[in-house]
Amino acid sequence: MKNNFFRVKNSDATQLSRAEYLALDENERKKWQPLNRRYEKLPCVCFVFYGLLAFAVILYVVALLSVPFSDFFNLYISSPIRMFLSYLTVWIPFSITEMIVILLPFLLVVLIVYALHYRCDTWKSVGIFVLELLSIVALLISLFVIGFGIGYRNSTVDKKLNLQREKVSAEELADTADLLVESINREMSEVLYHDGGFSVMPYTYREMNDKLIQAYDKFCENHDFLINFYSRVKPVMLSEAMSYTHITGLYAYYTGEANINVDFPDYTVPFTAAHELAHQRGIAREDEANFIAYLVCIGSDDPYIRYSGYLNMYEYVSSALYSADKAAYSKAAAALNAPVRDEMSAYSAFFEKYRNSTASKVSGTINNTYLQIQGTPGTKSYGLVVDLAVAYHKETPAK
């Protein structure tokens, strides 16, 4: 389409029609440039995106007011959306999320160049461009709320599992730690360890993924608040760099991917993968995702996955026990078989170089803020899984 108006370069001043422009001599024309009116009107799709945001806000308010509505929506509306997003990327062997993060600086440069070259004809076109960008943000927020965010307003897992979640005593922590130690020592008899002290996962990440999906199938047979489906955890290529952020896994809602940090020791990986798969299936709160991961892992037919579940939960419980009763903590730690104690010592040595990284402080602040916005206690919520574990083992004998 031809431009019908022209303006002086780098100015919003007097504009000429095409006829007036053509009447100028060649030298005068060089002082003028086309004015693209196409970018001075907000596209209709932007109004759709803003309308979708308003709809998402209404849904979220209803979910705040009605837990049954939130449960229904998360199970029957949000779950199919998450399943669909997962199916879109499950066949891709690498993490799309990681690629986006790597390419993000380049994409930002392209956006800036585009804006300066095409969208800065007038202040009005600049304003329209900003509104277009904000409409995309509105779309992303809307999709998040509809597909995942409402899950933060669900009924809690302890209610779904009929557990009595209460404030725990030091004695209850010690009893739970003892049960976990007994289970760890039993499972470690089928676990291989190498000279560095770490245990060795005896199969590939793809095989681990399939074993976890089978474990989720078993869990979902007896618990109708989750819908299981085939998905695939994605090992992050830049896992070592990711370790500096202290992030062991990440569920990326928009790509449907459960990403895992494979730089961390093997025994952490199945539990982390199960945690991210729990998010993918609609368990939004961090303590509850940890607890579902634990139940799925210990219900697995595979001894290494069970070992991963018990040992990771022991770390949470023993940390709480250390604060409550150091003598009981020491007793439980001493009861671990030597290879397990060596594994935990090796983990401490491994983690030392990442412990006080600047990246971890930044990512921790961002994650804490995000979780608080969702109505949880922030990053402290990960450790709240201890209450659930104690409640579970008070009512369920150790396997």
pTM: 0.86
Q: Which domain holds residue 29?
A: 5-35
Dump pLDDT digits (tens) for 360-393.
777 777 777 776 777 676 555 556 889 999 999 9
Q: Which of 118, 136, 153 is the last residue of a domain?
A: 153
Please report the DSSP string for 335-381 in residue order: HS-HHHHHHHHHHHHHHGGGTT-HHHHHHHHHHHHHHHHTTS-GGGG
Sheet with 15-17, strands from edge to edge, namely: 15-17, 5-8, 32-35
pLDDT of the residue at 41: 77
pLDDT of the residue at 168: 87
Query: How many independent structural domains does the chain possess?
Result: 3
- Please give the structure tokens belonging to residue 175: 């009893």
> How far is the C-alpha of 145 from the C-alpha of 266, rounded, in Å?
34
69 shares its domain with 190:
no
Dump pLDDT digits (tens) for 52-86.
999 999 999 999 999 999 999 999 999 999 999 99
Q: What is the mean pLDDT of the chain?
A: 88
pLDDT band at 35 (very low <50, low <70, confident <90, very high): low
The residue with greater pLDDT, 355 or 41, is 355
Q: Which of 113, 135, 153 is the last residue of a domain?
A: 153
> How far is the C-alpha of 54 from the C-alpha of 45, rounded, in Å?
14
352 shares its domain with 223:
yes
**Could you give the C-alpha distances from 213 to 65, 112, 200, 234, in angstroms and in order?**
34, 43, 20, 14
Dump pLDDT digits (tens) for 105-127.
999 999 998 888 777 767 777 88
**Could you give the C-alpha distances from 18 to 1, 26, 138, in angstroms and in order?**
13, 14, 38
pLDDT of the residue at 5: 47
Q: Give 13's DSSP letter.
A: S
The residue with greater pLDDT, 150 or 356, is 150
The residue with greater pLDDT, 164 or 55, is 55
Sheet with 233-235, strands from edge to edge, namely: 233-235, 257-260, 249-252
309 shares its domain with 200:
yes
Amino acid at 269: V
pLDDT band at 258 (very low <50, low <70, confident <90, very high): very high
CA proximity to 245, closest of 365, 125, 349, 389:
365
* Rounded (10°) angle between helices 269-280 and 286-298: 120
pLDDT of the residue at 333: 95
298 shares its domain with 338:
yes
